[in-house]
A and B are shown apart, each in its own frame.
Chain A
Amino acid sequence: MGFGDLSYDVAHLLGGAMLLISFVLLYQRRIFALVNALALQGGFLALAALWQAYVQAAPQLYVTAAIALIAKGILIPIYLRRMVTQLPPARRAEPASGIGASMIAGFLLVGLSILVVLPATSGARALAREDLAIALSIVLLGLLMMVTRRSALAQIAGLMTLENGLVLGAVGVAGMPLVVELSTAGLVLVIAVIAGIFARVLHERFESLDTSVLDPHRGEGS
């Protein structure tokens, strides 16, 4: 088979570690552990970008790595962590229901992304195809997390991991312009701040971070 190519192996392993953390995020119910896992995923994303910068000899990817490390590995986790510490301890975990179902759904989503990526990239190398499939899986798992979780903070975490998947897919293919990367990173920071403010207002008004308390206020009549 001859897969002794180190540059692909390392990139592949870093992507795999990120996918693994996505499953940890899907499984974990305690918000503190969720934030820690998110920071770890940001760190792995930075490492992946760093490795791609080195392999592709693309200096702008070093900037991407720095942004990933500072924003997703450090700043956003600290921000989320401060929000969690303001919660009473009983609110720092979600009721553990539906973990099995969401894990199965996550598995099916990974299968779906493999099925989507394979026909679209039939000319490329096997491992590159797998990397794209992994990045798409991380995006889909982030979406799944935003859909299935009820806590606003967990939904923010889902959004962040979705964006991690996007960046992972983008750094894997050669030649992403720096402008795109910078604007995406800026967008995510803004979204994180807005989501944080939203969560804080939710907490002040309803004494809860459970977004299902908003359902009676949708103005649909009853």
Chain B
Amino acid sequence: MAWLGGLVTQLLHVALMLFAAPLLVGVLRWLKARLMGRRGPHPMQPWRDLLKLLRKRPVLAESASIVSRVAPYLALGATLLAAGLVPSFAFGMALAPVADLLLIGGLLALSRVALALNGHDAGTPFGGLGAGREMTFAVFAEPALLVCVMVFAVLIGTTNLNAIGHGLSDGQIGVRVSLLFAAVALVAVALAENARVPVDNPATHLELTMVHEAMLLEASGRHLALWELQAALKMLVWLGLLATLFLPFGVAAPGSGPFSWAVGLLAWFLKIGLLALALAVFESAIAKMRVFRVPEFLGGALMLALLAAALIFVSTGLA
């Protein structure tokens, strides 16, 4: 009956992800507004926007090719699959055997490629500019992610996310400097990947500074809804990844019953809520950096990840 439990948790998990992703964006906006002394829109507002946009027909530019039609589905599909792989309230879901960190990184990279192609497709200068910037940031962000994966692979002996979360939560490993460095590097990468404040401002439409929004300027109607859902899901994937890797507490073990699932669900809401609050405070406290400084910021993240890898080789006695 283990496969049945795995299937049920997997389906529940995907439904939870789809429901919670726009809600997370709404909660983040609301928290930021409250922190800045504004009242802020209702947390369900992104959901309402999504439902409204989904009913609308997309208007495509005359110069748009098939890429503009296919890219939103490709990106959303890849991100949804990645979201299905990152555990939320239970380990050992049906897709757990393939929940590999490298696969998740690859799926996110695939959705990024679709997004950049979409930016280029209509041939407007802003789209191309945004796509170029996104790819420049990826040059640093993706190696940093891969090196962090290597740290976990050396420490736990696998790149499977379930095994890593399980290995870290039973307390055998202890606190490691490498984990601290990898955490800082991954947080920096997550900020860049989700176009959050020091790298990009999610609330602006100022042409000179935007990255993520610039690639979506030509999207409308249903396609825009898909892109917004994709961005929200990516955000949730990254927060879930950080929660699984660095706060793997309270997650239900494989093959456990509905009661542990409920406990895991509560823990998951707590963890994601804490991360969202930390993100909102961080974003309210600091200013966006110049675009030319972002490669330095992400290069610093890459350095920290390399450092974590170097130290993990020393402390495990491999060097």
Contact = CB atoms under 8 A, between A and B. Distances in A.
B310 A16 contact: no
Interface stretch (A97-105, A154-162, A180-188): A97-105
Contacts of A96: 293, 296
A13 B180 CA distance: 8
A77 interface: no
Contacts of B177: 12-13, 15-16, 19, 130, 134
Interface in B175-216: 175-177, 180-181, 184
Contact of A110 (B176, B295, B310): B310
A133 B18 CA distance: 46
B180, B299, B314, B319: residue with the most chain A Cβ atoms closer than 10 Å: B314
A106 B181 CA distance: 15
A111 interface: yes
A23 B304 CA distance: 9
Nearest to A111: B310
A131 to B, nearest CB: 9
A110 B293 CA distance: 24
A5 B174 contact: yes
B310 A114 contact: yes
B306 A107 contact: yes
B207 to A, nearest CB: 24
Interface residues of A, number: 34
A103 B303 CA distance: 7
Interface string A1-30: 111111001101101110110010001000
Given A3-B173, A15-B177, A17-B180, A104 B314 contact: no
B317 interface: yes
A126 interface: yes
Interface in A127-155: 127, 129-130, 133-134
Interface in B154-187: 171-177, 180-181, 184
A99 B311 CA distance: 22
Contacts of B295: 100
Interface string B282-317: 000000000001011001100110110011001111
A126 B174 contact: no
A193 interface: no
Given A3-B173, A104-B303, A20 B180 contact: yes
A126 B300 CA distance: 27
A184 to B, nearest CB: 25
A126 B316 contact: yes
Contacts of B300: 23, 27, 99, 103
Contacts of A111: 310
A118 interface: yes
A110 B307 contact: yes
A16 B299 contact: no
Contact of A16 (B171, B180, B296, B316): B180
Nearest to A1: B316
A9 B316 contact: no
A110 B184 CA distance: 17
Contacts of B315: 3, 126-127, 130
Given A20-B181, A106-B303, A114-B319, A3 B314 contact: no
A100 B311 CA distance: 21
A118 B319 contact: yes
Contacts of A23: 300, 303-304
Given A16-B177, A20-B180, A27-B300, A107 B307 contact: yes
A5 B315 CA distance: 14
A10 B174 CA distance: 10
A99 B319 contact: no
B144 to A, nearest CB: 13
A10 B176 CA distance: 9
A123 to B, nearest CB: 13
A126 B307 contact: no
A12 B319 contact: no
Given A114-B310, A127-B315, A3 B184 contact: no
Interface string A87-124: 00000000010011001101100110010001000000
Nearest to B319: A118
A147 B172 CA distance: 42
A108 B21 CA distance: 41
Given A103-B296, A126-B317, 18 more contacts: A3-B174, A4-B174, A12-B175, A16-B181, A17-B180, A20-B304, A23-B300, A23-B304, A99-B300, A100-B295, A103-B300, A110-B307, A114-B310, A114-B319, A118-B314, A118-B319, A127-B315, A133-B314
13 contacts: A3-B315, A4-B174, A13-B177, A15-B177, A20-B180, A100-B295, A100-B296, A103-B296, A103-B303, A107-B303, A110-B307, A114-B314, A118-B319
